[in-house]
Structure 1
Amino acid sequence: MKKKIIEVLKKIYDPEIPVNIYDLGLIYEIEVEPSGTAVITMTLTSPNCPVAQSLSDEVKEKVEKIEGIGSAFVELVWEPPWDPYKMSESAKIVLNMI
Structure 2
Amino acid sequence: MNTFDWLKRAEAAQPGSGTTTERLEERVIDALRTVFDPEIPLNIYDLGLVYGLDVDEAEGRVEIRMTLTAPGCPVAQTFPATVEDAVFSVSGVNDVRVELVWDPPWSRDRMSDAARLQLGML
- Residues 10-43 of structure 1 show CA distances to partners (whole Å, capped at 9, x for unaligned) of 1110121111000000001111234222100101
Structure 2 unmatched ranges of 5 or more = 1-23
Amino acid aligned to 2:42: V
Contact 2:66 2:98 in 1 (8 A): yes
Residue 74 (structure 2) pairs with residue 70 (structure 1): no
Q: Which residue of 1 aligns with 2:45?
A: 22
- Residues 48-93 of structure 1 show CA distances to partners (whole Å, capped at 9, x for unaligned) of 1111122211110111121111110001111111100000111111
CA RMSD of aligned residues (A): 1.1
Contact 2:31 2:87 in 1 (8 A): yes
Q: Which residue of 2 aligns with 1:11?
A: 34
Higher relative contact order (CA 8 A, sep 6+): 1
* TM-score normalised per structure 2: 0.76
**Count of equivalent residues:** 98
Contact 1:14 1:55 in 2 (8 A): no
How far, CA to CA, are the matches of 1:91 and 1:66 in structure 2?
23
Contact 2:55 2:62 in 1 (8 A): yes
Amino acid aligned to 2:52: E
Matches within 5 A, 1:26-37: 26-33=49-56, 34-37=58-61
Q: Which residue of 2 aligns with 1:94?
A: 118
How far, CA to CA, are the matches of 1:38 and 1:53 in structure 2?
20
Of 81-90 and 54-63, more deviation after overlay is shown by 54-63
Identity across matched positions, percent? 45
| Secondary structure of the structure 2 residue equivalent to 1:48 | coil
Structure 1 unmatched ranges of 5 or more = none
Residue 99 (structure 2) pairs with residue 60 (structure 1): no
